[in-house]
Amino acid sequence: MERPSRRILLVDCDQFFVQCARLADPEGAGKQDLLLVGGTKEGRGVVTSASYATRAFGVRSGMPTGQALALCPQAMVAPVPGRVCGERSAAVREVLKRFTPVVEPASIDEAYLDLTGTERLYHGESLADTAKRIQADVLRDTEIQVSLGGGTSKIVAKLAASWAKPAGVFIVEPGEEESFMRRHELADIPGVGPVSAASLRRYGLVRVDDVLAMDEASLKQVIGDRHGAWLHARARGLDGGHVDPVHVARSMSRDETFSHDIDDDSTLARELRRLIRRLGQSLREDGTRARTITVRLRDRDFRTRQASFTVAEPIETDAAIYEVARPLLLRLRKDRPIPARLIGVSASNLMEKQEQSQLGLFAEKKLESDRDRTISRVTDELRDRFGGNAIGPADLMDRREREGLGGWRKREDEE
């Protein structure tokens, strides 16, 4: 028996950061056709999102802002309006949930919807008509313009959305997947980036057509079993993916590119502590703890190095994270002591609080106590109420030192 084909939509906000910047600043950015969001004239940023008018000049997102301004000197540069982006993203999601509970946010400005089984509920309405109603509701209730792609798989819906832009709807009917895929180059397929595309090109594989002409066995012989099976399916518009409304974070990270390279160990240590403060607060807000801490440095020459360490018992306080991170930073600096342009810290091996009661029993040394965690939550509340700098990390760390919990602050190299 044949299963009914799935009805999947991808809802994608058009130039999302540009729309948000205009909503955040209606009198300034709101009146600019030529608008770049992200980076500054002087700084090292890149364009996060470029308005459609600037794209006519060859501007693309990901391009250094300086380069974009060279192409389009009249453009206005606006910062990424973080708060507005978060609010509108959540608002769009709420509208989508009115149409189906199966909503999977794929990024801040995209979400997959699975409408399989809603035919009767919507009285046999076509997927295209449902998509148009979603589009109209989102615009009316959030002021955000979206495009929608639809099809029988996530990959088809995703590619269809790019044909729908801007402000359109594009549905690939069941049975039309292969002919739709033939319109594309392999590099258009999500997951085929510049490196894979270049290596496929060496085998004469450029368009989806080139892959459709091959049987799976020959394809596997050329590019390997794993990649062969993967590409064979994608070229036909097939992926194994389901629309999964439950998101579990795998990692959390904070990083920062400096306005000028930093070569001083104590300055780097201070930046690391600032990032850990932000990371720690996010972890606690999320109700998760981490077993693995990774410190990352990007050197002046853009080489990126990282060092990580896994502890037996998951941690969540700034002081404990710093205790793990500090030696990692020292090691990276010792290995290659050249100026750094970026420092980052990430937490992975995340566990929810309920999962972790068994783990700490045999840990040789406690990195944080229940009391530490309570204090750090109180600190979060104070920060929320009185602003980011009300209480510094030193307060907690000094206390640890007084009580002999940490040995890491022996060196006179901080602040």
Partner DNA sequence: TCTGGGGTCCTAGGACCC
What amino acid positions are annotated as catalytic residues?
110
Cα distance from N-terminal residue to C-terminal residue, the chain: 70
Confirm or reject binding of residue 107 to DNA (CB under 7 A): yes
Least separation, in Å, of the C-beta of 375 and DNA? 24
Confirm or reject binding of residue 194 to DNA (CB under 7 A): yes
Confirm or reject binding of residue 377 to DNA (CB under 7 A): no
Contact pattern from residue 41 through residue 70 relative to DNA, giving x for each residue in contact according to CB under 7 A and a dash for the rest:
--xxxx-x------------xx-x-xx--x
Confirm or reject binding of residue 361 to DNA (CB under 7 A): no
Least separation, in Å, of the C-beta of 324 and DNA? 10
Cα–Cα distance, 137 to 47 (Å, whole number): 29
Other C-beta atoms closer than 10 Å to the C-beta of 276 total 26
Answer yes or no: are the C-beta atoms of 318 and 276 closer than 8 Å: yes
Locate 198 and state its tokens.
């270049």
Confirm or reject binding of residue 215 to DNA (CB under 7 A): no
Q: Reduce the secondary structure of 196-223 to three states and give it as a string.
A: HHHHHHCCCCCEHHHHHCCCHHHHHHHH
Least separation, in Å, of the C-beta of 118 and DNA? 25
Strand order in the sheet with 49-50: 49-50, 35-37, 76-78
Phi then psi for residue 10, to 5 deg, are -110, 120
Confirm or reject binding of residue 289 to DNA (CB under 7 A): no
Q: Which stretch binds DNA (CB under 7 A): 83-91, 142-150, 170-178, 194-202?
A: 194-202
Q: Are strands 288-299 and 169-171 parallel, antiparallel or unpaired?
A: unpaired
Confirm or reject binding of residue 245 to DNA (CB under 7 A): no
Cα–Cα distance, 290 to 355 (Å, whole number): 12
Q: Which is nearer to DNA, 314 or 375 (CB)?
A: 314
Return the amino acid letter for 314: P
Q: Which is nearer to DNA, 78 or 342 (CB)?
A: 342
Locate 269 and state its tokens.
């240590």
Confirm or reject binding of residue 246 to DNA (CB under 7 A): no
Phi then psi for residue 62, to 5 deg, are 95, -15
Confirm or reject binding of residue 344 to DNA (CB under 7 A): yes
Confirm or reject binding of residue 122 to DNA (CB under 7 A): no
Least separation, in Å, of the C-beta of 27 and DNA? 25
Confirm or reject binding of residue 273 to DNA (CB under 7 A): no
Whether the bond between 79 and the residue before it is cis, its omega within 30 degrees of 0, is no
Please list every residue from 12 through 41 that binds DNA, using CB under 7 A.
38-39
Answer yes or no: are the C-beta atoms of 134 and 148 closer than 8 Å: yes
Binding DNA by CB under 7 A: which of 22, 154, 232, 341? 341
Cα–Cα distance, 298 to 318 (Å, whole number): 23
Confirm or reject binding of residue 308 to DNA (CB under 7 A): yes
Least separation, in Å, of the C-beta of 249 and DNA? 5
Phi then psi for residue 140, to 5 deg, are -65, -40
Contact pattern from residue 141 through residue 180 relative to DNA, giving x for each residue in contact according to CB under 7 A and a dash for the rest:
-----------------x----------------------
Q: Which stretch binds DNA (CB under 7 A): 174-182, 208-216, 248-256, 401-409?
A: 248-256
Least separation, in Å, of the C-beta of 64 and DNA? 4
Q: Coil, strand or helix: which one is 120?
A: coil
Locate 139 and state its tokens.
């615009």
Phi then psi for residue 310, to 5 deg, are -110, 125
Interface with DNA by CB under 7 A: which residues?
Answer: 38-39, 43-46, 48, 61-62, 64, 66-67, 70, 106-110, 158, 189-197, 226, 249-257, 282, 291-292, 294, 301-302, 304-310, 341-342, 344, 346, 349
